[in-house]
């Protein structure tokens, strides 16, 4: 039986498209299927990609919660509801594929209680450039002579941002000819392949769940 995937997105959904393609004609065919796509942004183009593939979608945005309840209480209520929605779908695996929102312990504890694993794709090597603007920070470090490579990884999600145990890693050299845009393009090209492979290894049991 194919594993059910719940994919979280915030933007264009190119990583989502790589997953969809792999389930239709790639290494995930008959092994996994995207059952639902959830975005924290109403205008995320990834929602259109999902709809085109016939995949149900939903949107869960933070702003209405903050407007009604204030920043702190609004975030707490948003997280509680997000966790509830994720659990309700009861996926085999949740995949953060360009999800630009920190998942708090309020969310992660709900998933853990229901034994639902969650992974994230991050455009940096382990413990190198955790958090936002990882590509830009790596590029700047290369220009300062501190590094000559960066990469991307798929890791288990824990409360510490990008601090979970890596599942798959791809190293990418930074050359003198690189610009931020060219480095970003190289990383994204590898991300798509790495994410699909990591999902494959998890759903087939090659990588044990935490």
Residue with tokens 């709900």: 110
* Active-site residue, selected from the candidate residues 122, 155, 192, 200: 122
Strand order across the 3-9 sheet = 57-59, 32-39, 3-9, 93-96, 118-122, 149-156, 166-173
C-alpha–C-alpha distance, residues 171 and 51, integer Å: 33
Separation CA 85–CA 158 (nearest Å): 19
Neighbours of 138 (CB within 10 A): 26
CA distance 150 to 18: 22
Strand pairing report for 93-96 and 118-122: parallel
Is residue 119 classed as helix, strand or coil in its secondary structure?
Answer: strand
Is 89 assigned a catalytic role? Answer: no
Catalytic residue set: 122
């Amino acid at each position: 039986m194919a594993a059910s995937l719940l994919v979280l997105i915030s933007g264009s959904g190119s990583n989502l498209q790589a997953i969809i393609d792999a389930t239709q004609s790639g290494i995930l065919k008959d092994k996994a299927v995207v059952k639902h796509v959830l975005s924290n942004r109403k205008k995320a183009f990834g929602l259109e990609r999902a709809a085109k593939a016939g995949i149900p979608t939903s949107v869960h945005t933070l702003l209405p919660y903050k407007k009604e309840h204030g920043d702190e209480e609004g975030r707490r209520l948003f997280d509680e509801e997000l966790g509830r929605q994720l659990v309700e779908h009861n996926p085999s695996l949740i995949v953060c594929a360009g999800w630009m929102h920190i998942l708090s312990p309020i969310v992660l504890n709900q998933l853990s209680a229901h034994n639902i694993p969650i992974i994230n794709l991050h455009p940096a090597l382990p413990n190198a450039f955790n958090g936002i603007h990882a590509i830009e920070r790596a590029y700047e470090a290369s220009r300062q002579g501190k590094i000559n490579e960066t990469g991307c990884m798929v890791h288990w999600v824990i409360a510490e941002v990008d601090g979970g145990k890596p599942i798959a890693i791809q190293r990418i050299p930074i050359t003198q000819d690189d610009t931020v845009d060219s480095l970003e393009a190289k990383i994204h090209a590898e991300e798509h392949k790495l994410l699909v492979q990591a999902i494959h290894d998890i759903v087939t049991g090659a990588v044990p769940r935490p």
